[in-house]
Structure 1
C-alpha cells in the first residue's frame, strides 16, 4: 500500500490516498477530512438505516401495483392488462436510465445526488397518486423507475464511503435491509391499503414516507465526495474490468431462477396440492429473508466467497426439497424458509462482490447490477409463463434449482476476480 499526499478542500496537504493495486479497496480518500471514517471508526447506523428505509420505499413502490391491478384498472377505466404496465414501466425506467444517470452524476458529491434522487422519486409518486390519465400515470411510473435506478446505483458506493473499511460488507447488509422488508411488509401492506380504501392511498402513504425519508437524510446522512475524474472509466470499460462480467452473469442466472418461482409461487402451490395460501408463503419467505440478511451482515466481512457459495447451494437445496417434498406442508415451508434465508443476503453479497471487483468505478458497476436484476425480473415473467403454460407449476423449482446451479458454477469459476478466496 503506497501513500500519496493530496490537498483537501481547505488546501491542507494531509489526506492520504491508497494505491489501487488491489481493486477490493475502493474507498475514495479524496473526501473532505472527516467524510470517510478511519479504520475502527463508529458504525453509521443512523445513516445506513435511512438508506435502508429508502430501499424499502423503492421496492414497495415497484411491486405494490401487482396487488392492486383490479383497483387501478377500475379507477382509470382501463383493462387489467394495461394496469399491469405500471410494473413494466417502472422496471423499464430503471433499465434505461440507471447506467447513464449514475455515469453522469458519479463525480458529484453524494448527498446532493441522494437528495435530488429522493425528491424526483417523490414527485413521480405524487403524480401517480393524483393522475387520472393513463399516459401521464405510465410516464410517472417510468420516471419513478429512472430515479430508482439512480438511487440503487449509488447507494452501495455511498454506504461504503461513509463506513470504516473493515465494516464495508456489514454496511451494505444494513443498507440492503429495505429489500426483504419491502417484499415481506411493504407490498402486502400497500395492497391491503389500496384494497380497503383506494389504490391512490397506497401511493399517498408512500409519498408521506418519502417526505419523512428526505428529512431524515438531510439531518442524519453525511456527505461524501463523488468519484475522482482520474479514476473514471467509460461504461463499456467498466464491464471489462476483471470480475465484473462474472458477477453480472451470476446475478442474471441466480435472480432469474429466483423470480421464476417467486412470481408464480401460487401455480406451484396449487399444482403440488399444498394447502398453504400464497400470502402466507410470501410472509414466511419475507421473514426468512430478513433473517438471511442479518446472518449476512454478521459474517460478510469475514468470508464473502464462502457466503455466496453457501447461499447458492441453499438455493439448489431448496429447489430439490420443493421437487421431492411436494404435498408435504412441512417440507414445502422448510424449503421456503431455506430459500428466503439464502435470498435475504443476496443483494448485499453481490453488491459487495461487484464493488470490490470494480474498485473506484463501483457506482457504475452497481448501476449495471440494478439493470441485471431488472432484466432478470422481466425475463422471469416471460419464461415463467412459458413454463407453466407448457408444463405445470411443479417444473418451476426444477428451473430454479437448475439456474442456481449454473450461478454456483460461475461463482466457483470466478475464484480469482469475481469471488476471490
Structure 2
C-alpha cells in the first residue's frame, strides 16, 4: 500500500517541531527585549530544552513501547501544540522556559518513534529514502519555518509566531489521526515489560556501531549548535546582516539544506559513509571562512554551504542507526536522539560561555574543530555505516 500521504504528514509534524525548537535563534533580540533578559539567557532556551529531552527520551520511549505507534505520534504532536499555546501567554521568562520543557518531554519520544514508523510504511530496503522524505520537513522548517517565523516575530511580535506554531501543531495532530494507518506495537515489544525495555534501551549503547554513531552525532551537533545558536550576532558581526537581511539569510540557509536533503536522499541507501565524510568536509571549509570577518558576500556564501550540508547530515545518521540495530530500532533511535540533544544542549551552552567571554568570533573555529574530530571517528570506523542490513520482522501497517 502507498503511504506517501502518511509520510507527508509525518514530515509536516517534523516541520513544526524543528521550527519551534530553533525559532529562538532568529528571535533572540525580540524575546530578550520582551521578557527583559539577555540574549545569552534566551540562547539557553536551547540548552534547557535539550537537557530535558536528553534525560527523558530513553525512559519515556521505554515506557511507551506498548502504545500503538500512530496514537503515540498523535499524542506527542498534540502536546507540542499545547506547549506552544502556553508560550504565547508566558508572562515571564520562567514560564516560557517551562512551556519549552513540556515540549521537550514529548520531543524525545516523537523523534525516537518517527524514523521507525517511517520505515514501517515502506518496503524493506527503502528506509533511508523514507527517512529522507520525512526529514524534508526538517529542511523546510529551516527554509520556511524559521525565516518566516523570524520575520513574523519581528513584524508582529514573537508571541504571534508562537501562536501560529500552536495552530499548525494542532492541525498536524488532527492530520496524524486522520491519515496515519494503524501501527500496533510490535509483538516483541508487547511481550516485554517496561522495566526490561528500559534496561534494553540503555544496554544498546554498548553495541559498537550504535556507540560510534552516537559519538559522531554528539560531537558534530555540539559544534554546529555552538555556532548556529548565535548565528544572528555572528552574521551581524561578519556581514552586517540583521532584520530583513537576517531573515533572508536564514531563508537561503534552509533552501540550501533542502537541496542537500534531496541530494542525500538519493544516495543515502548506497554510500552513507562517503556522503557523511564529504558533507562534514564542506561544513569544515564553510566554517573556516566564517572565522575572520570578511564582509557580507563571503559570509552569505559560507552560511549557505554550512546550511546545505548540516541540514542533510541527520538523514545519514538516522538511517545508519536504523541499519546497525534492525532488531531494536526504537531503542536505538532513542539513544540517537539523546546524543543529538546532548549535542544541541552542549553546543548552546558552549556558545553561551564563549559569547559571555567576548569570544563570539571563535565559535566557527570551535565548530570546525569538532566537525574534524567527527570525521576522524568516521574514517576510523569502517563498518559503522553500512549501505544495507536485513530488515527486522515487523507488523505491517494497516489501513
TM-score of Structure 1 vs Structure 2, range by shorter chain: 0.7 to 0.9
Larger mean CA deviation between 386-395 and 218-227 belongs to: 386-395
Residues 371-415 of structure 1: CA deviation (Å, up to 9, x unaligned): 222222222223234445667454333322221111111111221
- 1:293 aligns to 2:261 (yes or no): yes
Corresponding residue for residue 251 of structure 1: 217
- 1:315 aligns to 2:283 (yes or no): yes
User: 1 or 2 for the larger relative contact order (CA 8 Å, sep ≥6)?
Assistant: 2
Corresponding residue for residue 32 of structure 1: none
Corresponding residue for residue 367 of structure 1: 334
Q: Give, in angstroms, the shift of residue 55 of structure 1.
A: 0.9
Instruction: Name the CA distance, whole Å, in 2 between partners of 1:136 and 1:87.
Output: 15
Query: Structure 1 length as normaliser, TM-score?
Result: 0.80
Distance 1:129 1:398, change over 3 A: closer
**More helix per residue:** 2
Q: Give, in angstroms, the shift of residue 200 of structure 1.
A: 2.9
> How is 1:14-413 mapped onto 2 (pairs within 5 angstroms)?
42=2, 44-68=3-27, 72=31, 78-80=36-38, 86-132=45-91, 135-227=94-186, 228-229=188-189, 234-269=200-235, 272=238, 274-276=239-241, 277-323=245-291, 327=294, 329-387=296-354, 392-413=359-380
| Counterpart contact for 2:43–2:229, Cα < 8 Å | no
Residues 44-69 of structure 1: CA deviation (Å, up to 9, x unaligned): 32111111111111112222234445
Larger mean CA deviation between 399-408 and 77-86 belongs to: 77-86
Distance 1:211 1:257, change over 3 A: same
Larger mean CA deviation between 151-160 and 105-114 belongs to: 105-114
Distance 1:293 1:380, change over 3 A: same
- 1:414 aligns to 2:381 (yes or no): yes
Q: CA RMSD, aligned part only? A: 2.8
Instruction: Name the CA distance, whole Å, in 2 between partners of 1:174 and 1:376.
Output: 24
Q: Give, in angstroms, the shift of residue 366 of structure 1.
A: 1.6
Query: Structure 2 length as normaliser, TM-score?
Result: 0.84
Corresponding residue for residue 22 of structure 1: none
Q: Give, in angstroms, the shift of residue 261 of structure 1.
A: 2.4
**3-state SS of paired residue (1:166):** coil
| Counterpart contact for 2:5–2:179, Cα < 8 Å | yes
Distance 1:331 1:142, change over 3 A: closer
Residues 61-107 of structure 1: CA deviation (Å, up to 9, x unaligned): 222234445655666x6534666665444333322222111111123
Consecutive unaligned residues in structure 2, runs of 5 or more: 388-399
Consecutive unaligned residues in structure 1, runs of 5 or more: 1-36
Distance 1:154 1:192, change over 3 A: same
Instruction: Name the CA distance, whole Å, in 1 between partners of 2:289 and 2:153.
Output: 35
| Counterpart contact for 2:284–2:368, Cα < 8 Å | yes
